[in-house]
């Protein structure tokens, strides 16, 4: 079985490398040759792909792109991915997207005889490298079962049932995570204003109910003002907040606190911090 991988950035790259290291034949396409070549260096079973037509031999194609519009651009259209995938093949979509985009892709895939799986990702690139990132998998259940041996190569498998659930869990995770980050920023400011030494503040917060994933992952970056290189860019966090708040509003779920978090990250982007790690929200 041959695999395709489109988009080998911060999260996609480690997953593609894991597939190559496991000995799978993986056709790798990326916007930049640098990212593609870095992934191909993971092993001898990687193959450079120059366009969507090069995905034709692949039984399973993974996509991991930054924005929903990037995904639809690559997948749909007369020379898009779906025009070259074979009936009976499988598209595993890894990006953080809204359910409307996912539904449109799933419907287009079905018309071409392609099985569609939404597999959103949790945690960080470091977790992805160790195959420890949680996978929130929904969609075609037979196709999901057929990939039983592949999921452990990528991460920690969780079957959430539907495409909509896979999209929602990832967006909710990022909504809560970014809200936590914004609150952590305010807490750190209070502690520092009270004269608590920065390292001691982080240590003691970690021993209380204030302990969180974001405290461990980004607390030190925030107190030291170090936001490069970005593990998860502020612009991407803002995109996920926009999609997540939009999902909530569409369901008539009131999210006033999350709307405030969205506004704060918007100020960060307006201040020119979009290419920094999302911890840079501490600066606004």
Whether the CB-CB separation of 208 and 200 falls below 8 Å is answered with no
| Confidence bin at 146 (pLDDT 50/70/90) | very high
Whether 41 has a pLDDT exceeding 90, the answer reads yes
> Residues 253-267: pLDDT tens digits?
999 999 999 999 999
- The Cα–Cα gap between 11 and 92 comes to 14
Whether the CB-CB separation of 282 and 268 falls below 8 Å is answered with no
Give the H/E segment covering residue 104. Answer: helix 99-111
Per-residue pLDDT, averaged over 108-125, amounts to 97
> Residues 67-93: pLDDT tens digits?
999 999 999 988 999 999 999 999 999
Count CA atoms within 13 Å of residue 37 on its CB side. 3
Whether the CB-CB separation of 233 and 276 falls below 8 Å is answered with yes
- The Cα–Cα gap between 178 and 171 comes to 10
DSSP string, 182-198: HHHHHHHHHHHHTT--H
Tell me the β-bridge partners of 120: 136
> Residues 151-191: pLDDT tens digits?
999 999 999 999 999 999 999 999 999 999 999 999 999 99
Please, what is the Cα angle at 152 between 17 and 71, to 5 degrees? 55
Rounded to 10°, the helix 12-21/33-40 angle is 30
- The Cα–Cα gap between 29 and 135 comes to 22
- The Cα–Cα gap between 129 and 124 comes to 9
Q: For position 77, what pLDDT does the model report? A: 86
**Burial of 92 from C-beta contacts in 10 A (0-12 / 13-18 / 19+):** buried
Give the β-pairing of 90-93 and 134-139.
unpaired
| Confidence bin at 19 (pLDDT 50/70/90) | very high
Sheet architecture: strand order including 134-139: 46-48, 25-29, 2-6, 60-63, 90-93, 115-121, 134-139, 156-161
- The Cα–Cα gap between 100 and 38 comes to 33
> Which residue ranges form the domains of the chain, and what is each CATH number?
2-161 (3.40.50.720), 168-283 (1.10.1040.10)
Per-residue pLDDT, averaged over 87-113, amounts to 97
Q: Residue with structure tokens 């929602």?
A: 168
Whether 55 has a pLDDT exceeding 90, the answer reads yes
């Amino acid at each position: 079985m041959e695999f395709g991988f489109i988009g080998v950035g911060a999260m996609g790259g480690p997953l593609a490398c894991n597939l190559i290291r496991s000995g799978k034949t993986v056709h790798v396409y990326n916007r930049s040759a640098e990212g593609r070549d870095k992934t191909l260096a993971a092993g001898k079973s990687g193959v450079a792909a120059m366009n969507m037509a090069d995905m034709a031999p692949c039984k399973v194609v993974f996509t991991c792109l930054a924005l929903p519009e990037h995904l639809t651009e690559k997948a749909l259209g007369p020379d898009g991915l779906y025009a070259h995938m074979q009936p009976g093949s499988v598209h595993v979509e890894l990006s953080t997207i809204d359910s409307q985009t996912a539904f449109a892709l799933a419907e287009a895939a079905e018309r071409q005889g392609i099985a569609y799986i939404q597999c959103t990702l949790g945690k960080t690139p470091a977790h992805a490298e160790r195959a420890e990132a949680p996978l929130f998998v929904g969609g075609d259940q037979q196709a999901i079962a057929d990939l039983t041996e592949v999921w452990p190569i990528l991460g920690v498998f969780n079957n959430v049932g539907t495409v909509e659930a896979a999209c929602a869990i990832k967006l909710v995770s990022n909504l809560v995570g970014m809200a936590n980050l914004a609150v952590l920023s305010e807490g750190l400011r209070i502690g520092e204003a009270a004269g608590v030494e920065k390292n001691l503040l982080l240590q003691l917060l970690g021993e209380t109910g204030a302990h969180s994933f974001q405290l461990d992952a980004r607390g030190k970056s925030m107190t030291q003002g170090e936001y490069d290189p970005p593990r998860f860019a502020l612009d991407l966090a803002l995109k996920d907040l926009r999609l997540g708040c939009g999902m909530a509003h569409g369901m008539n779920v009131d999210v006033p606190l999350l709307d405030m978090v969205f506004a704060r990250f918007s100020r960060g982007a307006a201040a020119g911090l979009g290419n920094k790690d999302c911890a840079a929200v501490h600066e606004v």
